[in-house]
Structure 1
Amino acid sequence: MTATVPGLDLDSPPFDLLDAGQKARVAAAVDLGFHPGGTRLIEAGQASPHVFVILKGRVQASDPGAAGDESRFADYGPGDLFGAFAVIAGRARHRYTAVGDALCFLLPAAVFEALLAENPRFAAYFHEALSVKRRLLADRQQPSELSRLMLTRVRDAQLAPVHAVPDHTGIGAAALALREHKVDCLVVTGDPAGPGIVTRTDLLDALTTGGLDASAPIGALASRPLRAVRADDVLFQAIVTMTEHHIERVVVLDDETPIGTLGMAEVLAHYASSSHLISLRLARAQSIDEIADAAAGMTDLVRQLHAQGAKMSYLMELVSALNRRVMARVFEQVVPAEHRGKLCLLVLGSEGRREQILKTDQDNALVVAEGFAWDGLPAAMDAFSQALARIGYPLCPGGVMASNPHWRLDQSAWRARIAQWARVADGQTALDLAIALDARPVAGNAALFDEIAPSLRALGKDQILLRYLAEATLSKGNPLTWRGQVREAEGRADLKRGGVFPIVHGLRTLALKHGVAHRNSFDRCAALVQAGALDAELGRDLPQALAVLMRLRLGQQLADLDAGHAPGNGVDVHALRRLDRELLRDALRVVNAFKSHVADTFHLAG
């Protein structure tokens, strides 16, 4: 029988990491203390005789060395644990003061230290960084179908055999190879452009509608480049790849060697993905109305995946793939095929980073080929922006859209604009440059953007510009300035302003400085660690902190939508579960550490 203490939940983190005997020792050792308002429970720089768990009331942590509002560090409420660091390190980082009368469970330091020594997982919860803590907590959760999908490696799925044939193989011989090896596709080798893939349907179409005979070589029928996933990728990544490229099967590589193929049917055996159904409907859509109908299911898909604990990086990749399909299909509706090769549609900001989840304001631009003239271009881009608004992507209040001539330029004009960004130092210029650094082609001729991208990357050599950009990372204030109530508007903490933006923009600026070409924040972070621009610990914790902040913000946004309100960036911290409040505090500590790193790197006052 599990030991119980009324009001103390020993089945929630971190106490759920203890075994039954250890929980019984906690139950036997805890005492209950009453602390009148204003009592200092722990003094900064001193040890604590107890670890505290709040039963009733609130406790404020503050930094006695800071002035005014900056001294207010965090607010702790019922169920929150504090004082562990003061026991482990022998000195507290902050001063803890009761805000009004408070009742707290008191776990003696000696008992707590003994549990740390006996239970490595319990110790890791307190000793290790945010990434370890999140993993420990995830391990304790009951696995859902989605979590199994995200834990199952591609190599462990039911792979179809891979069979390769040279590109000069005839259609008839290829059909016989499909039957003999009982596969649905063949890898085609021997072409200088690289290997490709040909399916049973490709062969049938070539014979019935393509006018080819059975002796015609299959090389020209193969789809290239070869779409592949790694054997150690999770199944969810396979869904993202197939959704993004609108294909039914991918090749599985172990190192660079094909070891099999994986189709949507095999993946759906693990998980019924509505994302693929949305992608199919988008591909078949013949009008803006049909595109809108297909895209209408995206918010429900996000809600479903979020409820089942989808990893934020996977969720963002999947939604980004669908957003790209939506924008490409709308682009095809408003731009005639003969003009598409002279245009390149870019998405900017969060969509360019592949970090947009819910439909938010449009941020897009257009690169026009040098010398290309089409009188219908302004009307087409107006139609594009209005169609996206109709589908659910609101018009950008700042006009960052391809319908705005300021964001619809030929290649020479784009180079001139980039040079202007380097010369003019003001807030709007910094904002424009920041979102442009995240630009990603989604429709039209991507080579047009590839020709101007080096001009953007060259800005990384401008030390004055880099310093100016980096200052914005520090300009949003300290997110850990809470006391009894959250100071932000309407009782909500703006996690974008205080947490997401400093991470995203700081990584963006460091990436520009160090020549990192990645756009996604998680990829930028990994590349910066590899380049030696971030230490391993901070590089490990930053993606975890960003995921925590994005998950909590998304949860609040979905709740706001359910309540009939427009989603924003504010989160009601006091309505969060105790565990989420703890993860949020840890995440914001990482934000502060990263801001200090940015300040040191660019010689800024923190």
Structure 2
Amino acid sequence: MPARFDFSRPPFDCLTEIERSEFDEVMDLEYFAAGETVIGPDQEVDALYVTMKGGVVEAGSDDPAAYRSGAPFDTRALVAGRGTSHLVAQEDSILFRIPRDTVLALTRRNPMFGAYFYQDVAKRLAFLAHRPFQRELQSLWMARVRQAPVGEPRWLDDRASVLDAACAMRQHHVTSVLVRGAEGVGIFTQSDLRNAVIDGVDTRSEAVALRARYELHTVEEDDFLYQAMLTMTHHGIQRVVVTREGEVVGVLEQIDLLAFLSNHSHLVAAQIERAATLDELRQAARDMERMVTLLHGQGVKVTLIAELVSELHHKLLARLFAMVAPPNALAHVCLLLLGSEGRGEQIMKTDQDNALLIEDGYRHPDLPAAAARFNELLVEFGYPPCPGGVMLSNPRWRQEIGPFKRQLEQWMDHPDGENAMNLAIWQDATPIAGRTDLYEQVRMHFTRWFAQDGGLLARFALPVEQHFDTPRPLLAQLWGAEQRDALDLKKSGIFVIVHGARSLALEAGVIGANTYRRLDALARGGHLDKQQARDLAEALAFLQALHLGHALRQVQEGKPVDYRIAPNELTTLENDLLKDTLAVVKRFRAHLRHHFQLDTL
């Protein structure tokens, strides 16, 4: 082959060595002068072209695609065997040429490679947008023991009984305690407790020091994690004692080590459950950030990351509120998450959106201060305050049932501007602590009121027109030219999908706040075309995945998180997928405009 082909670019990076050799054997180079047609409309296509030097542009299009070095183009035409657009050389260009038969044969044998050529937008996005980043687990194994979740040692003296040890393990949610006895430091575990019971000992009188084991298996906190795992494996044990220059500083459990090396979620959930102080809860919030980075690096789908984070986030906030709320308050109130938090689609620590419904007639003098403290602590935990004041500390979002219903009615009487957004925020409410029946009372009132006014639904849906940011053509992005305005992923796509699904769900009486579940329910109920629902779900997942990667980079660089993504952050493949995604959004917006007759408002 006259020149070396770059197999590190998608989709060619998923080819095996044997498959790459097949490419090399049949690949050729072809020259095109500036302005010369590469593929014409309805022209027979017998090869896949990939730019080596120069560039190819789509001619005669309002939103033209352009392809630079390493970019394959008109892949759908390759499958169909006929050109679908007019592609010309933008300058004198040299292109790699791979015969169509070879490419199609590989698409049948390699599903990941074949996904790039699918015409089904949902499949194309689902297969390619969430591919693993090939991060090696080796770097985690080479982390130090001190970086892992080492548990605080729980000590008993040699006068304590076996029953005392059992009570201590239950109280502290641990599986072992350490004993200081005449023989030195020993360890007593759940297995030792089980054996003591089977042996028929009197747990009240039997000294734990007599049942403890004094041949400790230890690792230094500066040892590598793989050394800790090797020690556990070699001795067939479930934990090791961690030391600092020979002094005991903690215990590392095998289950926590494995959680650290996998997705970290089990560990964080256990931390939240065990948290007895605000500092322990704050640490759990910090560990959630690390978990997100780890899962993203392992290529886990953004929807699965969101589900995990949402579940942990709900537990964290419920636990925090229980710590600061007045005694017995949870029997009279309902804590709600709103907006993206309520939908279970918030991954990064963005603005707070929360509210508190209060039983009519319940007035505790300490409740306002507790609500303010709740929001203050969340700021300390890394969750910025809501610029619009959608928080417990705001009396508007902390009311008794009756007044809150009347406030909703006022918003629905004048569903414009801020009121419209407040209604949308409320529609995503999810109860996470306290009395859920209080939420159900307000939800049913809200739904009945909407059902009585057909025009209200149209005004509710109108923001998809008012807040939509029409994306500029992607030509500059694909060519790498500088662009003053980065693309706002939220305004250009995420908001339209989320609010469109929210509006259709409200009309159809779909219960539940999550956008993916709303789309699925709308499709199953015949309120939305099934293929369109699948396309929208995958388009949303792709946009959220782009935002997550962008946000993690911003956090690493110490910048505030936003939705504006610069052209140079996107690969050629991501640009290609983004164009597909924005086309899905454009069709959905047209559907909403027609369905709710938004042009008449």
TM-score, normalised relative to structure 2: 0.70
Return closer, same or farther for 1:564/1:477 CA change in 2, 3 Å cut-off: closer
Structure 1 letter corresponding to 2:471: P
Alignment partner, residue 281 of structure 1: 271
Q: Which moved more, 1:585-594 or 1:547-556?
A: 585-594
- Structure 1 position 536 matched with structure 2 position 530: yes
Please give the alpha-carbon distance, in whole angstroms, between the structure 1 residues aligned to 2:297 and 2:278: 30
Alignment partner, residue 316 of structure 1: 306
Please give the alpha-carbon distance, in whole angstroms, between the structure 1 residues aligned to 2:261 and 2:515: 28
- Structure 1 position 396 matched with structure 2 position 371: no
Within 5 Å, which residues of 2 pair with 1:128-207?
Answer: 128-134=119-125, 136-137=127-128
1:137 Cα offset (Å)? 4.9
1:104 Cα offset (Å)? 3.1
1:125 Cα offset (Å)? 3.9
Instruction: Find the residue that maps to 2:328 and give its secondary structure.
Output: helix
Structure 2 letter corresponding to 1:336: P
1:502 Cα offset (Å)? 1.3
Please give the alpha-carbon distance, in whole angstroms, between the structure 2 residues aligned to 1:497 and 1:142: 27
1:597 Cα offset (Å)? 2.7
Instruction: Find the residue that maps to 1:297 and give its secondary structure.
Output: helix
Within 5 Å, which residues of 2 pair with 1:198-597?
Answer: 272-458=262-448, 459=450, 462-475=453-466, 476-479=468-471, 481-485=473-477, 492-597=486-591
Please give the alpha-carbon distance, in whole angstroms, between the structure 2 residues aligned to 1:398 and 1:489: 31
Instruction: Find the residue that maps to 1:104 and give its secondary structure.
Output: strand
8 Å CA contact 2:32, 2:38 repeated in 1: no
- Structure 1 position 30 matched with structure 2 position 24: no
Please give the alpha-carbon distance, in whole angstroms, between the structure 1 residues aligned to 2:304 and 2:298: 13
1:428 Cα offset (Å)? 1.4
Instruction: Find the residue that maps to 2:503 and give its secondary structure.
Output: helix
Return closer, same or farther for 1:451/1:128 CA change in 2, 3 Å cut-off: same
8 Å CA contact 1:4, 1:10 repeated in 2: no
Structure 2 letter corresponding to 1:451: Q
Please give the alpha-carbon distance, in whole angstroms, between the structure 2 residues aligned to 1:301 and 1:448: 34
Alignment partner, residue 7 of structure 2: 9
Please give the alpha-carbon distance, in whole angstroms, between the structure 2 residues aligned to 1:425 and 1:535: 28
Please give the alpha-carbon distance, in whole angstroms, between the structure 1 residues aligned to 2:527 and 2:16: 38
Please give the alpha-carbon distance, in whole angstroms, between the structure 1 residues aligned to 2:80 and 2:361: 67
Alignment partner, residue 155 of structure 1: none
Structure 1 letter corresponding to 2:523: V
Q: Any gaps of 5 or more consecutive residues in structure 1?
A: 65-70, 147-199, 205-263
8 Å CA contact 2:131, 2:299 repeated in 1: no
Return closer, same or farther for 1:566/1:453 CA change in 2, 3 Å cut-off: same
Q: Which of 51, 54, 58 matches 2:51?
A: 54
8 Å CA contact 1:10, 1:23 repeated in 2: no
1:395 Cα offset (Å)? 0.7
Structure 1 letter corresponding to 2:434: G
Structure 2 letter corresponding to 1:582: D
1:50 Cα offset (Å)? 5.5
- Structure 1 position 78 matched with structure 2 position 69: yes
8 Å CA contact 1:316, 1:355 repeated in 2: yes
1:247-300 alpha-carbon deviations (Å, 9 max, x no partner): xxxxxxxxxxxxxxxxx9699699755322222222333333332122111111
Please give the alpha-carbon distance, in whole angstroms, between the structure 2 residues aligned to 1:388 and 1:117: 51
Q: Which moved more, 1:102-111 or 1:14-23?
A: 14-23
Please give the alpha-carbon distance, in whole angstroms, between the structure 1 residues aligned to 2:475 and 2:323: 53
Please give the alpha-carbon distance, in whole angstroms, between the structure 1 residues aligned to 2:322 and 2:131: 47
8 Å CA contact 1:125, 1:132 repeated in 2: no
8 Å CA contact 2:134, 2:299 repeated in 1: no
Please give the alpha-carbon distance, in whole angstroms, between the structure 2 residues aligned to 1:268 and 1:276: 9
8 Å CA contact 2:351, 2:386 repeated in 1: yes
Return closer, same or farther for 1:96/1:568 CA change in 2, 3 Å cut-off: farther
Q: Which moved more, 1:49-58 or 1:346-355?
A: 49-58
Return closer, same or farther for 1:141/1:297 CA change in 2, 3 Å cut-off: closer
Instruction: Find the residue that maps to 2:26 and give its secondary structure.
Output: helix
Structure 2 letter corresponding to 1:129: D
Please give the alpha-carbon distance, in whole angstroms, between the structure 2 residues aligned to 1:55 and 1:562: 34
1:317 Cα offset (Å)? 1.2
8 Å CA contact 2:58, 2:64 repeated in 1: yes
8 Å CA contact 1:479, 1:498 repeated in 2: yes
Instruction: Find the residue that maps to 2:476 and give its secondary structure.
Output: coil
Instruction: Find the residue that maps to 1:401 and give its secondary structure.
Output: coil
1:535 Cα offset (Å)? 1.9
1:386 Cα offset (Å)? 0.8
Q: Any gaps of 5 or more consecutive residues in structure 2?
A: 138-189, 195-253
Alignment partner, residue 190 of structure 1: none
- Structure 1 position 598 matched with structure 2 position 592: yes
TM-score, normalised relative to structure 1: 0.70
Instruction: Find the residue that maps to 1:388 and give its secondary structure.
Output: helix
Q: Which moved more, 1:418-427 or 1:364-373?
A: 418-427
Instruction: Find the residue that maps to 1:32 and give its secondary structure.
Output: strand
Return closer, same or farther for 1:381/1:15 CA change in 2, 3 Å cut-off: closer
Structure 1 letter corresponding to 2:51: I
1:35 Cα offset (Å)? 4.4
1:406 Cα offset (Å)? 1.5
